[in-house]
């Protein structure tokens, strides 16, 4: 295996930020110190760059099996690497659904064949995502599932959700809640408010999200077990989670980069790439989410990478599939919307994308430690670039950020000591 030496970077170590070099041998981090000699390693000069733990995403969609026209595991992991992600957790809404050990094992096998990016399957809470019969949690855990979620759908029956939480607790598994009351959505395609009225579009009330957040937090407290709330998008949702945490609830949550940058005003023009679930919210919501990140109410940032074929977006807004292809823009969007304006220090942002999500699901990732797997991301904070979805390596080119100029860019990604993205560096 090729030896690598990353020199002159600003390195985010467990002890804090250091100006030092990183030596990689046999897929491991073997030395962290300034002024290291090459000793036969391929050298990457990271002057002016941050050298981070490989990013961790606990909410994405790789589409395989069944929807390979949108994405497959090979293209999805390549896109993850381009975005700096080395450990990713994929949701169960495939075809067939990942509700049994055979599908879980298939995903893991395909990921190993695809390359060094680690893929952790998230299995379904209920069989077929139908919200009825619970899956066999023990079998799924043994097959390699790291969490449970019917993401894309909420477990509609509250009693069944309670049973699922109790059942998952016995195995130490976390349920990830997709907070959405489908009855309250009632055909809505964007946030209900000024812009839905102005554009003549059916709106989705924020209560559709917030009511399920409240329900699932209370059920988890009742069962004294963990719950993780996916893609929080509203000020009210963040406030409910803040309340649940103050009560001692074992609740964690995430938001996604697009809720920190874009708003429902972006729907003007009817670009179907702005259609996402939950929908883009208001500027007040966006600011409230940033405050919730700052005070620790929101625990981490996850991409909710949701690639689609162009034919599924190049239709009337109401008919378009919801979702954004997010791997390749996530870190830059977060840097542009959070660090550049001064809302977060760089180290705080990096934690939200590395150690924090890894801790939520108990993954051995998200930290540059001696002897650990060499999962390393090199990030240039000064680079300015314009988003061109035609350059995405993901099969999904669906992004509302096309043409936007962002600050900060991943230059290299190492996964398990292998250069997974970036130009080969000179000796």
Cα(224)–Cα(220) distance, rounded to whole angstroms? 6
Q: What is the DSSP string of 393-422?
A: SSS----TTTT-EEEEEEEEEEETTEEEES
| Mean pLDDT of the 276-284 span | 98
What global pTM score does this model have? 0.97
Does residue 250 carry a pLDDT above 90? yes
In angstroms, the CA 179 to CA 278 distance is: 9
Q: Which residues contact 420 (CB under 8 A, 6 or more apart)?
A: 81, 86, 115, 116, 117, 413, 414
Q: What is the pLDDT of residues 192-248, one digit of tens each?
A: 999 999 999 999 999 999 999 999 999 999 999 999 999 999 999 999 999 999 999
Q: What is the pLDDT of residue 1?
A: 78
pLDDT at residue 276 above 50? yes
Closest CA to 92 of 178, 221, 31: 178
Residue 397 CB neighbours (<10 A) = 18
Q: Three-state secondary structure along 213-252?
A: HHHHHHHHHHHCCCEEECCCCCHHHHHHHHHHHHCCCCEE
Per-residue model confidence as pLDDT tens digits over 91-121: 999 999 999 999 999 999 999 999 999 999 9
DSSP conformation letters of 69-113: TT--HHHHHHHHHHTTEEEEEE-S-SSS-S-SHHHHHHHHHHHHH
Name the percent of the chain in helix, strand, coil, to the closest 5: 35, 25, 45
Please say if the pLDDT value at position 373 is more than 70: yes
Say if CB 141 and CB 152 are below 8 A apart. Answer: no
Q: Which residues are catalytic?
A: 304
Task: Report the candidate in 54, 56, 62 with the shortest Cα–Cα distance to residue 394.
Answer: 62
User: Mean of the pLDDT values across residues 386-414?
Assistant: 98
Task: Please report whether residue 87 resides in a domain.
Answer: yes
Are 11 and 104 members of one domain? no
Length of the chain: 427
Task: Name the average pLDDT for the chain.
Answer: 97
> What's the start-to-end Cα distance of the chain, in Å?
15
So what's the pLDDT on residue 425?
60
What digits encode the pLDDT tens for the residues 65-78? 999 999 999 999 99
Q: Phi and psi dihedrals of 349, rounded to 5?
A: -65, -45
Domain count, the chain: 2
Residues 168 and 21 in one domain: no
pLDDT tens digit sequence for 407-418: 999 999 999 999
CA distances to 33, 205, 256, 258, 311 from 329, rounded to whole Å, are 31, 28, 11, 10, 22
Contact 298, 254 (CB under 8 A): yes
Residue 148 shares a structural domain with residue 204: yes
Q: Please indicate, yes or no, whether residues 297 and 409 belong to a single structural domain of this protein.
A: no
Mean pLDDT within 133-152: 98
Please indicate, yes or no, whether residues 93 and 186 belong to a single structural domain of this protein. Answer: yes
Residue 427 lies in a domain: no
Shared-domain flag, residues 339 and 395: no
Select from 408, 236, 389, 284 the least CA-distant residue to 338.
408
Which residue range is the domain that position 389 belongs to? 4-50+374-421
Q: How far apart are CA 388 and CA 404, in angstroms?
A: 9
* Residue 426 pLDDT exceeds 70: no
Q: What are the backbone angles phi and psi of residue 410, rounded to the nearest 5°?
A: -70, 130
| Exposure b/e, 248-287, CB count within 10 A at least 16 = b | ebbbbbbbbbbbbbbbbebbeeeebbbbbbbbbbbeebbe
Residues 169 and 309 in one domain: yes
What pLDDT does residue 423 have? 82
In a domain, 367, yes or no: no
Q: Is residue 394 part of a domain?
A: yes
Distance CA 222, CA 191 (A): 31
Looking at residue 411, which CATH number applies to its domain?
A: 2.30.40.10
pLDDT band (50, 70, 90) for residue 427: very low
Both 67 and 44 in one domain: the answer is no
Q: How far apart are CA 366 and CA 346, in angstroms?
A: 15
Whether 22 maps to a domain, the answer reads yes
Q: Write down which residue in 361, 384, 402 finishes a domain.
A: 361
Q: Is 426 inside any structural domain?
A: no
Residues 215 and 283 in one domain: yes
Say which residues have a Cβ less than 8 Å from residue 15's Cβ, sequence separation at least 6: none
Q: Both 261 and 344 in a single domain?
A: yes
Going by C-beta distance under 8 Å and a sequence separation of 6 or more, which residues neighbour residue 351? none
pLDDT in tens, 37-88: 998 999 999 999 999 999 999 999 999 999 999 999 999 999 999 999 999 9
Residue 369 lies in a domain: no
What is the rounded average pLDDT of the residues 297-323? Answer: 98
Residue range 313-366, pLDDT digits in tens: 999 999 999 999 999 999 999 999 999 999 999 999 999 999 999 999 999 999
Domain boundary pick from 361, 383, 410: 361
Does residue 162 sit in helix, strand or coil?
Answer: helix
Which helix or strand (DSSP H or E) is residue 203 part of? strand 203-204
Q: Residue range 404-427: average pLDDT?
A: 90
């Amino acid at each position: 295996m090729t030896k690598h030496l990353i020199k002159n970077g600003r390195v985010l170590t467990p002890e804090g930020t250091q100006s030092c070099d990183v030596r990689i041998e046999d897929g491991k981090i073997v030395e962290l110190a300034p002024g290291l000699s090459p000793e036969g390693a391929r050298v990457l000069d990271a002057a002016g760059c941050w050298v981070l733990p490989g990013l961790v995403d606990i909410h994405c969609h790789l589409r395989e099996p069944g929807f390979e026209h949108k994405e497959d595991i090979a293209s999805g992991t390549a896109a993850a690497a381009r975005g700096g992600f080395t450990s990713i957790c994929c949701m169960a809404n495939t075809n067939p659904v990942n509700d049994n050990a055979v599908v879980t094992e298939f995903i893991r096998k395909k990921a190993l064949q695809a390359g060094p990016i680690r893929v952790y399957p998230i299995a379904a809470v209920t069989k077929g995502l139908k919200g009825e019969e619970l899956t066999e949690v023990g079998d799924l855990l043994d097959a390699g599932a790291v969490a449970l979620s019917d993401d894309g759908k909420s477990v509609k029956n509250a009693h069944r959700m309670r049973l699922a939480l109790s059942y998952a607790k016995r195995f130490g598994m976390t349920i990830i809640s997709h907070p959405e009351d489908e009855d309250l959505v009632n055909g809505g395609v964007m946030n209900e408010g000024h812009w839905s009225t102005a554009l003549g579009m059916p709106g989705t009330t924020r209560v559709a999200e917030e009511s399920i957040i409240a329900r699932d937090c209370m059920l988890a407290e009742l069962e004294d077990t963990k719950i993780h709330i996916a893609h929080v998008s509203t000020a009210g949702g963040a406030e409910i989670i803040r309340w649940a945490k103050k009560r001692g609830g074992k609740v964690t949550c995430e938001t996604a980069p697009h809720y920190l940058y874009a708003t429902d005003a972006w729907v003007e023009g009817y670009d179907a790439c702005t259609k996402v679930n939950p929908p883009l919210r208001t500027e007040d919501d966006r600011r409230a989410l940033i405050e919730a990140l700052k005070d620790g109410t929101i625990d981490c940032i996850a991409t909710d990478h949701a690639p689609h074929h162009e034919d599924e977006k190049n239709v009337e807004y109401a008919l378009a599939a919801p979702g954004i292809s997010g791997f390749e823009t996530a870190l830059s969007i977060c840097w542009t919307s959070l660090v550049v304006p001064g809302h977060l220090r760089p180290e705080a942002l990096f934690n939200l994308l590395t150690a924090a999500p890894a801790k939520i699901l108990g993954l051995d990732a998200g930290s540059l430690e001696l002897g650990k797997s060499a999962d390393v991301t090199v990030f240039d904070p000064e680079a300015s670039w314009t988003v061109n979805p035609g350059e995405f390596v993901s099969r999904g080119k669906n992004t509302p950020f096309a043409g936007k100029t962002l600050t900060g860019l991943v230059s290299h990604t190492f996964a398990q000591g292998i250069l997974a993205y970036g130009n080969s560096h000179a000796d």
